[in-house]
Amino acid sequence: MLIEGVCKRFGSLQALDHVSLQVAPGEFFGLLGPNGAGKTTLISAMAGLSRPDAGSIRVMGHDTVADYRAARRNLGVVPQELVFDPFFTVRETLRIQSGYYGLRGNDDWIDEILARLDLTAKADSNMRALSGGMKRRVLVAQALVHRPPVIVLDEPTAGVDVELRQGLWAFVRDLNRQGHTIVLTTHYLEEAESLCGRIAMLKQGRVIALERTADLLARRMQQTLRLRLGQGAALPPELRARARATPDGRIALTVDSADEVAACLARLHAEGVLFDDIELAKPALEDVFIAMMQEAA
């Protein structure tokens, strides 16, 4: 997939600002950014659902505007929104989706997709009777039904249970090993860190980073000291100024060396600050992401 100088404006909003990147065949590629960064707009342009104001996108060598049918046939997109037809069963939905690509008699592949996504028991259930997580599984199945060489996953695990998440990634890894190109957008940065070989970061419609995941992580050699403070405990002012809260209720401090870790703990001990838990963690993609978004701002 080749994206060159793509621009897209909605009124006064510049959603995409000269975005250029290339995804190699067979690559597992991450597209990250905060809400409103332009990720979904870019995916819509990839799928031919919107036309760039400038620039071009080619999927397996086919231009998404000049050669729309061939480009779309080589692409499977799992959208972020739950879009479905309430009048058909799961199996009927997949057969209809196959028909859009001129495919007949591919029930064996449909059965395999249903099994891998744990949808076999729901194959004859009406779409409107499914839970949100099950509907999202069907969206994944629809994107795969024509065996596209390039698969775009836009927040595929949003709002789904852990079991589906693990099963989905096992299936997607298999597809990637078979040569399928995967483009992933996700807010679960640990997923991107473990799955993606390269990552592009978007902010306000611009690419602010495009590197191998390992190189992005190597940018930050600092480690993170995570503390769970005791009830009623508070950090000294000089440590509080550089601390941030984590989703699990801990306090995170960035440290450059073992000596700095010792100095922080000595300061806490001197102030009588009690903590219930302590952990020293290596840099994670979340740390790099936050730092780069702040630098870009």
Residues 240 and 99 placed together within one structural domain of the fold: no
DSSP class of residue 3?
A: E
| Bridge partners for 199 per DSSP | 30, 211
Strand, coil or helix: 12: coil
In tens, the pLDDT along 15-74 reads 999 999 999 999 999 999 999 999 999 999 999 999 999 999 999 999 999 999 999 999
Q: Final residue of a domain: which of 165, 186, 217?
A: 217
User: Is pLDDT larger for residue 231 or for residue 214?
Assistant: 214
Residues 238 and 142 placed together within one structural domain of the fold: no
Cβ atoms of 2 and 183 closer than 8 Å? no
Q: Final residue of a domain: which of 176, 193, 217?
A: 217
Residues 119 and 242 placed together within one structural domain of the fold: no
The whole-number pLDDT of residue 206 equals 95
Global pTM reads 0.80
CA 37 – CA 29 distance, rounded (Å): 17
Residues 142 and 245 placed together within one structural domain of the fold: no
Residues 156 and 55 placed together within one structural domain of the fold: yes
3-state secondary structure 205-218: CEEEEEEEHHHHHH
Domain count, the chain: 2
Tell me which residue range forms the domain holding 127: 2-217
The whole-number average pLDDT for the span 259-273 is: 85
The CATH number covering residue 164 comes to 3.40.50.300
CA 255 – CA 279 distance, rounded (Å): 12
Amino acid letter, 208: I
Average per-residue pLDDT for the chain:
89
Q: What is the DSSP string of 194-255?
A: HH-SEEEEEETTEEEEEEEHHHHHHT---EEEEEEEPTT----HHHHTTEEE-TTS-EEEEE
What's the longest Cα–Cα distance across the chain? 74
Q: Final residue of a domain: which of 217, 233, 264?
A: 217
CA 278 – CA 242 distance, rounded (Å): 17
In tens, the pLDDT along 129-167 reads 998 888 888 999 999 999 999 999 998 887 777 777 888
| pLDDT at position 221 over 70 | no
The whole-number pLDDT of residue 271 equals 84
Residues 249 and 181 placed together within one structural domain of the fold: no
Which of 5, 38, 31 lies closest to 151 in space, CA to CA?
Answer: 31
